[in-house]
């Protein structure tokens, strides 16, 4: 059966902040189709509990925010990208405010919080710690009423439509109608998020499996810095495995970390609990290795409990639903995979190495975060680079190539669901055990060996089937994460090698993967404007 064909000027894949904002920006210049594999509310941005950083007061400065970002990035940031992020980010946030985005205020003044790694109070929040949800809800209301935007939910994108290094759209499978379709576009923007959903213990939704990475990689784009996976220090811990993010904003308001012996272990550092995330995560890991309990406690008992409940209503309600009285006991927390710094290599307009294909948000690797993302820079990144991608795409749209090729219809075989889930469990266990906060050569080689059987069976099977494609590509991304970690023989930012504990400041290298060239190490782009 011939696939249905839908044509549009702009095609956006993903419904996080980068996807929604790029859709709204692109809609000013032509018709947009926005595709998401679940519903509009299912994204990492929607779950984001922190805030959004921006220089908005006279006591703060662009240079201060830039300096904090570069310091957190451990000498590996693209400095030009950081300058773009900070300077344009303030404008993007002001635009949101002008549109009516209800950020929290103290009277008529914006309430600005403090988070780890920041030297000034510059973090905006909305609805307590549920800033991501508040922004997404705000933008979704505008998406739903925009006549230039068509939304396709519950759609799995399984391939790009491309020829001669030019992207003309994608192939997608619609779950509800069991139908394969071709979406042909003049510009395609990947905003599919990261891949930390591949880890067992993660703050991300299960949909964060790196789809945009393999879609672009399979057609010639370069993957970069996949080994840099940021672990959030404070994710809620239960023996049953229930996980949700405990916002860094709590530490910004004075919450303290204690080990099982009641020691406030972060006092050895000048910024204490507000040290950069990589440092806090590693220190918590040390405490877990020294004690029997698999968590430390984030204590709020010295703070005004009623004020905290009012300030962070949704978050405190979730905590207290587990029987924890924040006025009397600490919240059990442990690190969890949270944010992927690596992704599809792009320039500062979101353009990949494939003409007509852009990437923005967590799926993209612009170099803005270096080796460790500064808290609350991720939502800012989504706003800044999604607008840049849409603005650039409006002037560089390709012509549509009608019926470029006859696409084979995607099959869905329910009997392959369990083998896929088994392989996913294997991959997630390997990542958690060998590619977590601390790694070493012996463990990473063991992970590759164990992954090899599943990878080979997936790569060399034939069939145009849903679970098979997901299995094959999930294993490919997992392997690239592990190989990137193995190739980076240093400890930098979120990447800590116990067998290479020092940072090689004289050898700033990016670990890249190209389907054409294989694995490649090269210098960083920290001082370059574009690739």
Tell me: do 8 and 106 sit in the same domain: yes
The phi, psi pair for 2, rounded to 5°, reads -75, 135
pLDDT at 529: 27
Three-state SS string over 25-68 comes to HHCCCCCEEEECCCCCCCCHHHHCCCCEECCCCCCCCHHHHHHH
CB-based contacts of 423: which residues, under 8 Å, 6+ apart? 454, 458, 471, 474, 475
Beta strands in 254-347 (DSSP E): 256-258, 296-299, 331-340, 343-345
pLDDT at 488: 95
CB-based contacts of 88: which residues, under 8 Å, 6+ apart? 384, 387, 388
How far apart are the C-alpha atoms of 521 and 494, rounded to whole Å? 18
Residue with the bigger pLDDT between 46 and 334: it is 334
pLDDT at 129: 67
8 forms beta bridges with 185
pLDDT at 520: 64
Catalytic residues: 277
Residue 216 counted as domain residue: yes
Lowest-confidence pick of 61-65, 203-207, 256-260? 203-207
CA atoms within 13 A on the CB side of 169: 26
Which residue has 């808290």 as its token pair? Answer: 375
Which residue has 């494939």 as its token pair? Answer: 354
**In CATH, what number is assigned to the domain containing residue 23?**
3.50.50.60
- Does residue 382 have a pLDDT over 90? yes
Residue 478 counted as domain residue: yes
Residue 82 counted as domain residue: yes
Tell me: do 181 and 315 sit in the same domain: no
Tell me: do 96 and 194 sit in the same domain: yes
Q: Using one digit for the tens of pLDDT, what is the confidence trace for 446-487?
A: 999 998 876 666 655 656 889 999 999 999 999 999 999 999
Tell me: do 350 and 450 sit in the same domain: no
Residue 524 counted as domain residue: no
Final residue belonging to a domain, choices 337, 353, 376: 337
Tell me: do 128 and 236 sit in the same domain: no
Lowest-confidence pick of 46-60, 104-118, 228-242? 46-60
What's the structural domain count of the chain? 3
Tell me: do 203 and 78 sit in the same domain: yes
234 forms beta bridges with none
| Inter-residue contact 129 to 375 (CB < 8 Å) | no
Tell me: do 24 and 151 sit in the same domain: yes
| Residue 489: band (very low, low, confident or very high) from pLDDT cuts 50, 70, 90 | very high
Tell me: do 208 and 120 sit in the same domain: yes
CA distances from 5 to 170, 180, 402, 476 (A): 10, 9, 9, 29
Q: Helices 441-459 and 417-434: crossing angle, nearest 10°? A: 160
Residue 521 counted as domain residue: no
| Residue 531: band (very low, low, confident or very high) from pLDDT cuts 50, 70, 90 | very low
Q: Using one digit for the tens of pLDDT, what is the confidence trace for 428-438?
A: 999 999 999 99
Sheet of 52-53, strands arranged across? 52-53, 123-124, 112-113
Domain around 418: 414-502
Residue 189 counted as domain residue: yes
pLDDT at 521: 57
Tell me: do 319 and 178 sit in the same domain: no
pLDDT at 248: 85
Residues 377-400 have a mean pLDDT of 91
Which residue has 């979704």 as its token pair? Answer: 140
Residue 517 counted as domain residue: no
- Does residue 528 have a pLDDT over 50? no
| Residue 117: band (very low, low, confident or very high) from pLDDT cuts 50, 70, 90 | confident
Give the DSSP per-residue string, 143-174: HHT-TTEEEE-SEEEEEEEEETTEEEEEEEEE
**Helices and strands (H and E) in the chain: how many:** 14, 23
**In CATH, what number is assigned to the domain containing residue 458?**
1.20.58.100
| Inter-residue contact 68 to 117 (CB < 8 Å) | yes
Residue 406 counted as domain residue: no
Tell me: do 118 and 139 sit in the same domain: yes
How far apart are the C-alpha atoms of 316 and 310, rounded to whole Å? 9
pLDDT at 332: 97
Tell me: do 180 and 321 sit in the same domain: no
Final residue belonging to a domain, choices 304, 319, 337: 337
| Residue 301: band (very low, low, confident or very high) from pLDDT cuts 50, 70, 90 | very high
Final residue belonging to a domain, choices 287, 315, 337: 337
Identify the three-state secondary structure at position 519.
Answer: strand
Tell me: do 175 and 322 sit in the same domain: no
């Amino acid at each position: 059966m011939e696939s249905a064909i839908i044509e549009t000027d702009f095609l956006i894949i993903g419904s996080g902040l980068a996807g929604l904002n790029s859709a709204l920006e692109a809609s000013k210049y032509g018709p947009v189709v926005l595709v998401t594999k679940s519903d509009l509310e299912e994204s990492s941005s929607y779950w984001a509990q922190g805030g959004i950083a921006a220089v908005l007061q006279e006591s703060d400065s662009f240079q201060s925010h830039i300096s904090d970002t570069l310091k957190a990035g451990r000498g590996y940031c693209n400095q030009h990208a950081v300058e773009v992020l900070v300077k344009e980010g303030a404008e993007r946030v002001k635009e949101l405010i002008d549109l009516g985005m209800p950020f929290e205020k103290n009277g008529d003044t914006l309430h600005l919080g403090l988070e780890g790694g920041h030297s000034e109070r510059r973090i905006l929040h909305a609805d307590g710690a549920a800033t991501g949800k508040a922004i997404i809800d705000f933008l979704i209301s505008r998406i739903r009423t925009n006549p230039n935007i068509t939304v396709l939910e519950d759609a799995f994108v399984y391939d790009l439509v491309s020829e001669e290094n030019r992207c003309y759209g994608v192939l997608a499978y619609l779950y509800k109608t069991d139908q394969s379709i071709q979406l042909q576009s003049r510009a395609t923007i990947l905003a599919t998020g990261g891949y930390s959903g591949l880890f067992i213990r993660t703050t991300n939704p299960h949909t964060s499996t790196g789809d945009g990475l393999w879609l672009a990689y399979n057609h010639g784009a370069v993957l970069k810095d996949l080994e840099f996976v940021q672990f959030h220090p404070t994710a809620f811990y239960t023996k049953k495995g229930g996980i949700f993010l405990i916002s860094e904003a709590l530490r910004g308001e004075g919450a303290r970390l204690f080990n099982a012996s009641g020691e406030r272990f972060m006092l050895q550092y000048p910024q204490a609990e507000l040290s950069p995330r990589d440092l806090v995560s590693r220190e918590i890991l040390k405490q877990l290795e020294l004690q029997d309990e698999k968590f430390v406690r984030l204590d709020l008992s010295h703070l005004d409990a009623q004020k905290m409940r009012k300030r962070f209503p949704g978050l405190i309600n979730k905590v207290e639903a587990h029987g924890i009285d924040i006025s009397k006991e600490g919240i059990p927390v442990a690190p969890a995979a949270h944010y992927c710094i690596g992704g599809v290599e792009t320039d500062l307009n979101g353009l990949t190495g494939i003409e007509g294909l852009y990437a923005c948000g967590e799926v993209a690797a612009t170099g803005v975060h270096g080796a460790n993302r500064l808290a609350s820079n991720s939502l800012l990144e989504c706003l800044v680079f999604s607008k840049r991608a849409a603005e650039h795409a409006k002037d560089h749209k390709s012509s549509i190539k009608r019926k470029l090729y006859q696409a084979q219809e995607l099959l869905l075989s329910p009997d392959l669901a369990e083998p896929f889930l088994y392989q996913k469990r294997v991959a997630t266990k390997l990542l958690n055990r060998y590619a977590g906060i601390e790694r070493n050569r012996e463990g990473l080689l063991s992970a590759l060996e164990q992954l090899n059987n599943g990878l080979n069976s997936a790569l060399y099977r034939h069939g145009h089937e849903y679970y098979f494609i997901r299995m094959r590509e999930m294993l490919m991304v997992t392997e690239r994460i592990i190989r990137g970690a193995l190739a980076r023989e240093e400890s930098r930012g979120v990447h800590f090698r116990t067998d290479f504990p020092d940072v090689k400041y004289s050898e700033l290298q990016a670990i890249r993967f190209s389907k054409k060239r294989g694995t490649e190490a090269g210098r960083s782009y920290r001082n370059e404007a574009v690739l």
